[in-house]
Amino acid sequence: MSPQVDKVKFGRQIATFRGRSIELRTWVLIIIPGCLLTLSSYLYGMLLAGNAYQQHGPALALIRARSWFMFATILLVILAAYILYRLLISSQRFEIFKNGIQYRSIFLRRHAYYWSELSGIASSATRITFFGKDIQTIPSGVIYLYTGKSIELTNRFQNIPRLVEIVKSIIYPLIWPTLKSTFRSGGTAQFGRLTLTREHIQIAKKSIPWESVYRLRAESGFLMVELRDDSDQQIPISDIPNLELLLQFVDWGIQT
């Protein structure tokens, strides 16, 4: 890992994905109403204080207005913290180079990795529904490193599906030959919670002989391991790195 990309070693830049800026709906639904509520609370407190001061003096004026001033102050702190958080998100960058990646985290730390340091990538999409109708789909992903660490690709980055697509197009051809040669030499193929051997597929601690497996397919965010006894095993796609390689690997032939 390098704190900053060496442009000579990492090669030309392929793509840049910026952090998500503050959307118009966020301004309309959260920030502007929050500002108006804060201002109106403060003004109402001032009004109460003014009336109480004229009638009963400064001591009662402070008592009458204190709760509203405190409420306005709490709202202001929450709103300011939220805006600062969104500005930090928008300052993030994820850059893809010919020989690796670099990303700048929410705390502005730079992280750089060569493609050879990445062991895989998993992606998924969360659907938000309202009365049975899909109103939003939130994509996400995780890049795994051979060190055991991972990079979360949440929706704080713009255009996550395209980012994931580019990363897959580069690392899959690098992983595939090693995967096949390791398996042919008697080793195992690891895909997150799934381990493949010539004799069985292991899901967590459960081993299933290949003759008991009917097929594997991806459906509705899950990998379905369909068994010949009509029972199924489901694994969330988000927990499976290199899903396309897994399916291709099974099609390639466990008995190869």
Which tens digits make up the pLDDT trace of 46-105? 888 777 767 766 766 677 778 888 999 999 999 999 999 888 888 888 999 999 999 887
If one counts every other C-beta atom within 10 angstroms of the C-beta of residue 207, the result is: 12
Question: What is the Cα gyration radius of the chain?
Answer: 27
Q: Which fold has domain 7-13+92-180?
A: PH-domain like (2.30.29)
Closest CA to 191 of 235, 139, 152, 255: 235
* Average pLDDT for 173-181: 90
Q: Is the dihedral of CA 108, 114, 115, 118 positive or negative?
A: negative
Label residue 219 by pLDDT band (50, 70, 90). Answer: confident
The pTM of this model reads 0.78
Query: Which sequence spans correspond to the domains of the chain?
Result: 7-13+92-180, 24-90, 188-252
The answer on pLDDT for 21 being more than 90 is no
Tracing tokens 């096949």 back to the chain, one arrives at: 180
The values of phi and psi at residue 112, to 5°, are: -135, 140
| CA atoms of 25 and 123, how far apart (whole Å) | 26
* Average pLDDT for 116-126: 91
If one counts every other C-beta atom within 10 angstroms of the C-beta of residue 41, the result is: 20
pLDDT digits (tens, 9 = 90+) for 188-214: 888 988 888 888 888 878 888 888 888
The angle, 0 to 180 degrees and rounded to 10, between the axes of the packed helices 58-90 and 32-56 is 170
The answer on pLDDT for 7 being more than 70 is no
The answer on pLDDT for 1 being more than 70 is no
Token digits of residue 210: 């290949």
| CA atoms of 78 and 98, how far apart (whole Å) | 42
Average pLDDT, the chain: 85
Closest CA to 21 of 84, 106, 91: 91
| CA atoms of 236 and 155, how far apart (whole Å) | 19
Label residue 242 by pLDDT band (50, 70, 90). Answer: very high
Q: Give CA angle at 12 (10, 14), nearest 5°.
A: 105
